[in-house]
C-alpha cells in the first residue's frame, strides 16, 4: 500500500514554476532517480519521489529538493502490484494537483539468457519494466485529459528510461532486454494514442553507473568502450530528461545518450565482454 512520507518542511522560495508543474519519478530515491529528481527540481519542477525500500534516502532527497525552492514528497509503493501502482499515482496527483510528468526510471535488471530464463524472472521484469510504466502513462492521460483544451500544447509528458541495448542487442540480460523492448514499443503506441494531451518519449543511456557485481576497474573499462571514449554520465542523462520534459515537438521516439555505445556491435553485453578479455 502506498504511503506518503515527507520530510520536515524546509524554507520555501515561492516560484511560479512550483505552482505550475510537478513530476513523479519511479525509483527516485537513489542512483539515476536521485540525479533526475535534483535536475528536475533545478528546472522548476516539484517532485514526487517513489521508492520501495529506500525510505531514508527518499526522505533525504525530499529535504534536499526543498532547499532548492521546490516541493517534494516521498511515496512508498511496490511496482509489482497493479493496485499499488494505482495508489502511487493517486497519492502523487493528490499531493500535486499540477502533476504534469511521469519519469519511469525504476528498472529490474537481473542477468539471464534465453537458455536459462524462467517464467518467474520474465514476469518480474515485465511487472517493473513494462506494466507499471504503462499503467502510470495511462493514469497520467486520464488525469490530464479533462483539463485539456483544444489547440493547447500537450499538457503532460511521460519519459521512459530505456537502454542503448535496444539498438545493439545480444542475448545477455534476456528478460530485461525483452521487457525494455516492449516498453520501447509502448512508447510509440502510447504517443499515438494519447496525443495531443500527452507526449511519450524514451531516453536510452549506455553504461552509466556500476551495476550488479562490477568492480571499479571493470566499470571504468566498460565505460570507455564507446566511439567517444566514454559512455553516459549521470548528469548527461539527466540533462536529456530535463530537455525532453519541455521539448514540445518531441514524442514517440527514443533519445540515445551513450557516447555512441550502440554503434559498436557486441556479441555479449559489455560487462561480460570485459571479463572475457
CA distance 255 to 164: 9
Could you please state the CATH topology (level 3) that the domain comprising 3-212+233-259 is classified under. Rossmann fold (3.40.50)
Question: What pLDDT shows up at residue 273?
Answer: 59
Residues of the chain short of pLDDT 70, as ranges, are 1-19, 212, 270-277
Q: Answer whether 153's CB lies under 8 Å from 248's CB.
A: yes
pTM over cut 0.95: no
CA distance 78 to 206: 26
Question: What pLDDT shows up at residue 217?
Answer: 82
CA distance 66 to 13: 9
CA distance 150 to 215: 53
Question: What pLDDT shows up at residue 275?
Answer: 58
Q: Which of 152, 145, 258 is nearest to 205 (CA)?
A: 258
CA distance 108 to 132: 12
Q: What is the 3-state secondary structure (H, E, C) of 154-167?
A: CCEEEEEECCHHHH
Q: Domain locations in the chain?
A: 3-212+233-259
Amino acid at each position: 500500500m502506498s504511503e506518503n512520507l515527507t520530510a520536515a518542511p524546509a524554507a520555501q522560495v515561492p516560484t511560479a514554476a512550483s505552482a505550475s508543474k510537478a513530476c513523479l519519478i519511479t525509483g527516485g530515491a537513489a542512483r539515476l532517480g536521485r540525479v533526475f529528481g535534483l535536475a528536475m527540481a533545478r528546472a522548476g519542477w516539484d517532485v514526487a519521489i517513489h521508492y520501495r525500500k529506500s525510505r531514508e534516502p527518499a526522505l533525504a532527497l525530499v529535504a534536499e529538493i526543498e532547499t532548492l525552492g521546490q516541493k517534494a514528497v516521498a511515496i512508498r509503493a511496490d511496482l509489482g502490484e497493479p493496485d499499488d501502482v494505482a495508489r502511487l499515482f493517486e497519492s502523487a496527483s493528490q499531493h500535486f494537483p499540477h502533476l504534469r510528468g511521469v519519469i519511469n526510471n525504476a528498472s529490474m535488471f537481473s542477468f539471464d539468457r534465453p537458455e536459462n530464463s524462467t517464467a518467474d524472472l520474465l514476469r518480474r521484469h515485465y511487472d517493473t519494466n513494462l506494466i507499471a510504466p504503462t499503467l502510470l502513462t495511462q493514469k497520467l492521460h486520464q488525469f490530464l485529459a479533462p483539463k485539456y483544451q483544444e489547440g493547447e500544447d500537450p499538457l503532460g509528458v511521460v519519459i521512459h528510461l530505456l537502454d542503448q541495448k535496444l539498438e545493439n542487442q545480444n542475448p545477455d540480460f534476456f528478460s530485461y532486454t525483452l521487457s525494455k523492448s516492449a516498453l520501447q514499443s509502448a512508447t510509440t503506441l502510447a504517443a499515438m494514442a494519447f496525443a495531443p494531451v500527452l507526449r511519450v518519449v524514451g531516453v536510452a543511456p549506455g553504461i552509466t553507473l556500476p551495476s550488479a557485481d562490477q568492480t571499479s576497474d571493470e566499470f571504468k573499462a566498460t565505460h570507455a568502450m564507446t566511439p567517444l571514449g566514454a559512455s553516459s554520465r549521470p548528469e548527461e542523462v539527466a540533462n536529456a530528461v530535463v530537455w525532453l520534459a519541455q521539448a514540445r515537438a518531441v514524442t514517440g521516439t527514443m533519445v540515445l545518450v551513450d557516447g555512441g555505445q550502440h554503434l559498436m556491435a557486441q556479441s555479449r553485453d559489455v560487462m561480460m565482454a570485459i571479463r572475457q578479455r
